[in-house]
Amino acid sequence: MQPFAISVQNVHKSYGKTRAVNGLSFVVRQAECFGLLGPNGAGKTTMMAMMYGKAERDASPAGVIDVLGFDPQYNPLNVRHLLGVVPQDDNLDGELNVYQNLSLFAKFYGLSGNAAKAAIERLLETMELTDKKRSKIRELSGGMRRRLIIARALLNDPKILILDEPTTGLDPQVRHMIWDTLRLMKKNGITMLLSTHYMEEAFQLCDNLIIMHKGEKVIEGRPRELLDQSIEKYVLDIVNKEHEDRIKGYLDSPLIRADLSKETLHIYSNHIDTLNEIAARLEPGDYFLRAGNLEDLFIKATGRALDDPA
């Protein structure tokens, strides 16, 4: 068995003058969850579309995409049988009920009769949708629809699950439920490639990730290690800068790093006492003290926030 599930080497994709993906390289190991983290417009969906044969990469320079030994551009059917895809848009058939939606897809994969029934019943159970199997799609909540799309992607027992922004638009409670489902998939040995612009999602789920910006990789590594290596332990976010003059003396301290570029003033430090001292000079409600996270890493690398418009 080859050690990696997916290998992407120097892949480019342009739409006219837009370089959606610009020389991207990464390797996804078997049974890991690999993340593409980046703001809207970073090129995540385009990269994924090339992975399952929905978009063709640029011919020059000719990069490489290897999905379990196959090139999706030249062997799309082989690749599709190995992959389950959870697209960003909700493309369920609104005329059909939950069971029928799954049964239609089972047919695409050549499953019928008792084999299809058993696979569908098992997935409905895993996704906690059994009591909804006769419900119409419009009767489902956003979280249930997402779980149904994940169930559908798992029907052909895929080796790799591709998830494009699986929790965008869902409320936090439902998001946590989807995370639990995905952790279960990972335990079952499925390799996952997940795109997201929620740093918390990437941090919670991904073993490895790349942070993307304007079609390029800006950072790669294991989330915890990246934070330990590159970001201070604590951050004081000053959301109201009205009393900024009270803390001016601290901004040159070697114990802190300040990012003054945004509406919110971020002060980074490994010394919690120093941040507490600064906070004591401000009014309650002017600031939040928190741990450093992947968003801080993104800001450090690119000078912008993950939710800034592209």
In the bound complex, what is the minimum distance in angstroms from residue 305's beta carbon to ligand ADP?
A: 15
Q: Which stretches of the chain bind ligand ADP, using CB under 6 A? A: 15, 18, 20, 38, 40-46
Q: Say if residues 92 and 150 touch (Cβ distance below 8 Å).
A: no
Report, in Å, the least distance between residue 18 CB and ligand ADP. 5
Query: Shortest Cβ distance from residue 204 to ligand ADP (Å)?
Result: 19
- Nearer to ligand ADP among residue 38 and residue 84 (C-beta): 38
Of 35 and 38, CB closest to ligand ADP = 38
Nearer to ligand ADP by Cβ, of 42 and 238: the residue is 42
What is the smallest separation between the CB atom of 161 and ligand ADP, expressed in angstroms? 17
Return the number of the residue (2 or 18) whose C-beta is nearest ligand ADP.
Answer: 18
Q: Which long-range contacts does 241-248 make (Cβ < 8 Å, 24+ apart)?
A: 241/265, 242/286, 243/281, 243/282, 243/283, 243/286, 246/281, 246/282, 247/278, 247/281, 247/282
**φ/ψ of residue 265, rounded to 5:** -90, 120
The nearer residue to ligand ADP, 38 or 72, going by C-beta atoms, is 38
- H-helix segments, 52-171: 76-82, 98-108, 113-126, 142-154
In the bound complex, what is the minimum distance in angstroms from residue 24's beta carbon to ligand ADP?
Answer: 11
Residue 84: C-alpha distances to residues 128, 161, 193, 271 (Å): 19, 5, 10, 46
